[in-house]
Each structure stands twice: as structure tokens, then as C-alpha cells.
Amino acid sequence: MLKGFTRNFKPLEILSEGELEAIHRGTLSVLRKTGVRFESKKALKLFEKNGCQVDYTDNRVRFPEGLVEECLRKCPSSFRVKARNPKNDMIWGGNTVYFQALSGTRSVDLDTWEPKTPTRKEYYDAITCLDALENVHIIPWYTPWFGFKNIPSVMAMPEGLAARLRNSSKFTCSNYSMGCEVFNIQMAKAVGAELRSSMAASPPLTFYEDAVENAFRTVEAGFILLITSGSVYGGTSPATIAGSLISGNAEIMAGIVLAQLIKPGTRIIVQDFSFPQNMRSGSPGFGAIEISLHQVAFNQIWRRYKIPIDGGVSYPGSKKIDYQAGYEKAIIALIGALSGTNTIWIQGAMYGELAFHPVLAIIDDDMVGMIGRFLRGILVNDETMALDLIDEVGPIPGYYLNKEHTRKWWKLEQFIPRVADRLTYPEWLKGGKKDCLSLAKERYQKILSTHKVDPPLTQSQEEEIERILKEARKYYRKKGLISNAEWEAYMEDLKSPDYPYA
Amino acid sequence: MDTEIIEGLKKAIKEYDTEKAANLAKRAVEEKLDPLKVLNAMTVAIREVGDAFGRGDLWLPDLVGAADALQAAMPIIEEEIKRTGAKRESLGTVVAGTVFGDIHSIGKTMVCTLLTAEGFKVHDLGVNIKAEQFVEAIDKYNADILAMSALMTMTAPEQKKVIERLKKEGLRDKVKIMVGGGAITEDFAREIGADGYDPTAPGAVKLARKLIGK
């Protein structure tokens, strides 16, 4: 079992009881009065059968409060999830905090900082790196990248999942696009792993059919459903944080009702993926401090409902691995961790989800180590208070460096970063003035030359994954979603030595 | 009276007052004002807002608010231009929309607003637009420019489909195609055979002018 980190103290809270209750009541009132639009006949019928008021003219569902509260209670407050290797299984909920890698649409050149499309080899190598990093607990969908060279976009998700299952045994996830979840579920089952998949609202207050269909498939497969509200406040939810929380939580609760009606007791994780709108460009305000305010309140609300939380999306606005990227990531991740989320997205991404680099993931992994150490808090007992030792050492010339207590405890108390520069000036000057970026580049090469996935897929698992991929390729080709030119480049790519599975 | 209506309409656009803009447009028609003169005033107003946005004095909610007010008045005046048979001058006709499978509208709305402010006649088809809808609109409005947006990497290839569809229908050479959106790059634009790409809304306006040589 992968324990992740445990927060050993009370979480940071910023809402009063009265404010919490007002937001709760407000959310229920939006669900009852305004309702949520579901572009899915199947879902509408299920809602109607269970006492919701369904308006078929605009596909809007209005929810009775009793049903919403009953469905919230049906969500388990903590649960185990199965990774490909049982040593990477996780228990979600309570005071546990896990970290997951982020993803990017493209890679980036570390000299020019220009975006570039990764190759298949770079894609597989980046997964090897994430598998090796001790503080990456989850390698989610689209990670490391949304796709790679020569892969038709419809195949990006199944190819990505196959790569993660091949080069990592950590818990992974998958998402939906053009029905690819059918193939993803088959692949996970073939290797004995569970998947977390999402049902994302399209704010404001709408779920499209593909999201709903994926919810049905995920729940019916017995996997974990992540219900996401990803509004941009000021654009797709009110500009105020309080209003945005209500609108987003109404979406999530509507999703929870659906999941619990499909199968009571379904394992749910709720996700806050909201950003303030950048009122200049219209893009989400990556790296903004309001993300943290939204997150703290979100965490407080959902801890009250006792449903595991995913959040603290630490996307920086910076396009470089620089000071700005560092402080934006650190602030968002740390506040998320302190305020009681169960999972935080952090390693590897820069400029929102538009770029990812494994070298950045290595630097971020140190940051996670620091946060994880902080969460563990301070252990206070007879041994750590060390009264006898203080008495034994006494004043100067007494000292602690030669004591057994020091040898035992310093390593438990101190976190040692892997690539942060902690040298003295003379050491640093003599060592070539390396910063954390150059140290991370070195570590990346070392990981690639030494790390092996544990365990690799068996021969029959490999064959089964490739069979499912072949089926997906054939399916999308037949559906006309892969053009002739795309197909040719794709088939050529599969013949390369970087793809020994075909 | 004429000046009062026209100045009121300009003010309504600059103050994001949708209802007032629509009412004044109706009054302009009732009072038989020259619809071309009214349209010109509206363009001046939205240009002022667009310029202020470009300078950083106004923000996105202001730009979108003014665009809404403009859109409330525009069909009324356009209808009147059609009815009276007046000849509308414009830099060119643009058909715009976000591609099928993608419901992101902000970038597309920004571009449409700024193109209108520049003096283009813009037909904003909205979001989630299928290839055949683009083709139909290009034909119907005799468009000079097609402007497509896609925010997601998953939907970006849809732009290529639209271009292929245009080729099939023999309309490709009739229009200049510009593409944009979060998922689009210069390379991608070239690859799919678009005529131009720009990552910003003001840049898109310059590009549109360049594409039609104005």
C-alpha cells in the first residue's frame, strides 16, 4: 500500500459555521429551483424515476433536497483503490494526502522555452520518470502529454493509457473522448488495475452526453468516479468565490445523485478544477491566489459531507521553469494540503496544462517532499522531547552530534531534497555553480538509465493490451475519425524500434 | 431627434445596456433614420470599446458587455438595410464559429467583436459548429473570410475537416481561412492548410485585413 502523506493536525478553515451552512443551503436551492441540464435521455429517465422534476423541453432536472442529501450520504467516506502493483494501492479519504503528476498538451524545449510536440520515446521515458519519483502517487490521464507525434487525436487516450500501464505500476486514470473509455476499461481490467475516470460538468450547470455516458460506463465497471466542476469564475460561474462555489457544488451534487442512482455506494471523488478568469485574455487564471481561496472553502465544505476530495491544481502561469512557476505551484499546493484536500496535482506542468516536462516533475517532487514533511507535523512524546538527553548533554561544551538519539531522529525529522541546491558557497562554486534545474536534468538521465518498472507487464498482458489497441485503431479508422494521411503516419510509427509491442 | 437616437445608441453600447440598444435601434427604424448611418455609429461605438480594451483601459467583461449590446441592436438595423435595399460598405464578410465538439466561446467572441469594430460584416455562427454548417454559411453569406476557433487538442482536427469539406464542395479558393484558439499553433495551421493564424484577438484583426489585402 502506498501511504502517501498524513496530515497530523487540524486543517486550515476559513468559513464560519454560518457561512458553511449558507453555502450548503444555497447549493440545495440552486438544485431545487434552477436545476441542472443533462444532455442524456438515459440520465433524464433515471432522474425522473427517482423523484426529480424533469423538463424535457430544455433537458433540465430539478432535484428534491431529500434525494440530494441521501445520495451524499451514500458516498463512501474512504476507500481503497487498486493499482497494477498492490504495493501502489491507495486508501482515499480522511487525513491522507496524495500527489499526482500534471499533464501538458505539449512538451517544451528547455533552452528556448518554445513548445514542441513530444515523440513516442519521450512520452514513454517521461512515464518511466514519473514511475521512479517517490512522491508521484498517481499518474493520471493525459499524463505526461495529451498525445505524441504521429498519433491521431482519437487514439491519444488509449495509447496514453497503454503507455502508463507498460512503463508504470502506479495507480492511473483515464478519461473520455469519442467513446474511448470502452477500450480504456478493457485495458485496466486486463492488467488487474482499477481506474479513476471523470464526469466533468460543462459549466454553468450542464452535463453533456459524453460525460454522462462515461459516468454510466465507469460506475458499471465498478471503478472510481471523479466528479469535476471546472468553472472559470466570471465566465462560466459567478465572479465571486462564494457564488462560484455554489454553482460548482450544485454541478457536483447533481453528478453524485446520478452516480448513486446508477449504483448505490459508488466510490466518488469530488474535484475542484476552478480558476478565476483572466479578464485580459479570457483564459483561466493559472497560478492565481483565488484558486487557493476557492480550494480552502471547497475542502471545508466537502469534508463536512465526508467525501474524498481532489483539488489544489498547481498550474503555474509561467512558461518557464522559473521563480514564478515555483511560488505559484508552492502556494497552491501547500494551501491545498493544509486545508484538507486528499489529492493535489502538481508534478511537471508549466503554463497551465499547456506544457509539461519531466525535468520539472523532478524539481516539483522535492517541493512535494517538503509539503509532505510539513503535513506529518511534530511528534511530541517522551523520546522526542528528550528531557533525559538534554539533562545528559547539559550546557556547552556538551553537544548532540555524537548522540544515538541524533543518529536515530534527524533522518525522521528532516526532509532531504534530491535536487535542490543546499550546498555551501565554496562547494557550489567548486561544483560548477549548478542550480536545481541542472541537477534535475542530471537526475532525469540517471532515472532513465537505472529505473525499471516493477513489475513489467507479463507476456499475456502485453498481448492483451496490444489486441485492445488494435481493436480501437480499427474502430476509429472504420468510423472515419482517422484520415488516410494520419493512418499512414501512425502505422509507420508503430513499426519503429521505439514500439516493440506491435 | 436623429442625433439623440444615434448618440443614445452609441452610449447604450458603451454602457453595455442591451435593452436600451435594442429599443433605440427599433426607434431608429420607426423614425426612418438612414440605417447605414446608424450602423456606422454603432461601429464607431464598438471600435471605441475595442480600442480601450486594446489599451488596457477596459477588460473582457466590458468588451463582452458591449458586444452583447451591439448584437441586440444589429439584427434590427441589418433587417432595415435589407428592406430599404441600402448598400452596406464593409471591409469584407466573415463567417466565424467554434468547431464541432467544442463549446468554448470567449476567444471567438473577442475576435468577432473586434472584427466588427474594424468594419467587417461578421456572421458569428456560435459554438459546436459542424463542417456542413460552416460550408452552408460561407455559401449563403458569400463570405470572404472563414474564422474558426478550437480550444482543445481533441477538437482542433475538426478545423482540418472543415477545410477538407470546403475543398470537396469547391469552395476552398473562395474564402481565406484563419484559425485560432488555445490548441492551435502556427505549425498546425500550416499543416491543415489554413491561410493564417494568430494567437491574439487584436492580431486576428490585423491578419484578417492582411488576408484580404485591405
Q: ipTM value, please give it.
A: 0.81
* Burial status of residue A483 (CB atoms within 10 A of its CB: 0-12, 13-18, 19 or more): middle
Among residues of chain B, what percentage have pLDDT more than 90?
A: 68
Cell numbers 473562395 correspond to B174
CB contact under 8 A, B60 and A282: yes
Among residues of chain A, what percentage have pLDDT more than 70?
A: 100
Tell me the nearest-neighbour CA distance from B52 into chain A, angstroms.
Answer: 12
The grid coordinates of residue A462 equal 502485453
Per the CB < 8 A criterion, the answer to whether A359 and A146 are in contact is no
The grid coordinates of residue A96 equal 491522507
Q: Which residues pair with A344 in a beta bridge?
A: A99, A311
Question: Is pLDDT above 90 for B181?
Answer: no
The grid coordinates of residue A453 equal 518498472
Per the CB < 8 A criterion, the answer to whether A341 and A309 are in contact is yes
Question: Is pLDDT above 90 for A113?
Answer: yes
Phi/psi-derived region of residue A152, left when phi > 0, alpha when psi is between -120 and 50, beta in every other case: beta
The grid coordinates of residue A381 equal 512524546
Average pLDDT over residues B119-133: 92
Give me the residue from B61, B103, B200 closest to A279, CB to CB: B61
Tell me the nearest-neighbour CA distance from A482 into chain B, angstroms.
Answer: 10
Alpha carbon distances (Å) from B214 to A59, B72, B206: 46, 28, 9
Is B154 near chain A, with CB under 8 Å? yes
Q: Give chain A's mean pLDDT.
A: 96
For chain B, which domains are there? 2-84 (1.10.1240.10), 93-211 (3.40.50.280)
Chain A: residue whose CA lies nearest to B181: A283
DSSP conformation letters of A321-342: SSHHHHHHHHHHHHHHHHTT-S
pLDDT at position A198: 94
DSSP-assigned letter for residue A277: B
Chain B: residue whose CA lies nearest to A176: B154
Mutate to test the interface with B, among A37, A39, A103, A105 (most CBs of B within 10 A): A105
Is B212 near chain A, with CB under 8 Å? no
Please say whether the dihedral angle defined by the alpha carbons of residues A395, A401, A403 and A406, taken in this order, is positive or negative: positive
Average pLDDT over residues B118-141: 93
Question: Is pLDDT above 90 for A59?
Answer: yes
Under CATH, to which class is A1-377+419-502 assigned? alpha beta
Tell me the nearest-neighbour CA distance from A470 into chain B, angstroms.
Answer: 20
CB contact under 8 A, B153 and A282: no
Please say whether the dihedral angle defined by the alpha carbons of residues A469, A474, A478 and A481, taken in this order, is positive or negative: positive
Average pLDDT over residues A73-84: 98
Amino acid at residue number A16: S
Question: Is pLDDT above 80 for B118?
Answer: yes
Tell me the nearest-neighbour CA distance from B60 into chain A, angstroms.
Answer: 5
Cα-trace Rg, chain A: 24
Residue B121, classed as helix, strand or coil, is: strand
Residue A227, phi then psi, degrees to nearest 5: -105, 125
Chain centroid offset of residue A117 CA: 22
Question: Is pLDDT above 80 for A312?
Answer: no
Residue A23, phi then psi, degrees to nearest 5: -70, -40
Average pLDDT over residues A239-255: 98
Chain A: residue whose CA lies nearest to B154: A153
Q: Which residues contact B39 (CB under 8 A, 6 or more apart)?
A: B77, B78, B81, B88
pLDDT at position B1: 67
pLDDT at position B184: 82
Tell me the nearest-neighbour CA distance from A282 into chain B, angstroms.
Answer: 6
Question: Is pLDDT above 90 for A140?
Answer: yes
Please report residues of B whose CB lies closer than 8 A to that of A239: 61
Number of Cβ within 10 Å of residue A282's Cβ equals 23
Alpha carbon distances (Å) from A469 to A120, A139, A213, A218, A406: 15, 20, 21, 19, 54
pLDDT at position B101: 82
Give me the residue from A146, A178, A282 closest to B106, CB to CB: A282
Question: Is pLDDT above 90 for B142?
Answer: yes
pLDDT, one tens digit per residue, over A330-372 is: 999 999 999 999 999 999 999 888 899 999 999 999 999 999 9
Give me the residue from A153, A280, A354 closest to B59, CB to CB: A280
Is B204 near chain A, with CB under 8 Å? no
Cα-trace Rg, chain B: 17
Question: Is pLDDT above 70 for B169?
Answer: yes
The grid coordinates of residue A165 equal 500501464
Q: Please report which confidence band the pLDDT of residue A282 belongs to, taking 50, 70 and 90 as the band edges.
A: confident
Average pLDDT over residues A93-107: 95
pLDDT at position A374: 98
Tell me the nearest-neighbour CA distance from B111 into chain A, angstroms.
Answer: 11
Secondary structure element (H or E) that encloses residue A76, with its range: none
* Burial status of residue B201 (CB atoms within 10 A of its CB: 0-12, 13-18, 19 or more): buried
Secondary structure element (H or E) that encloses residue A346, with its range: strand A343-347
pLDDT, one tens digit per residue, over A170-180 is: 999 999 988 99
CB contact under 8 A, A280 and B56: yes
> In chain A, where are the structural domains located?
1-377+419-502, 378-414
Considering only CB atoms, which residues of chain A are within 8 Å of chain B? 105, 115, 146-147, 152-153, 156, 177-178, 202, 234-235, 239, 277-283, 354, 483
How far is the first Cα of chain A from the last one, in angstroms, to the nearest whole number?
33
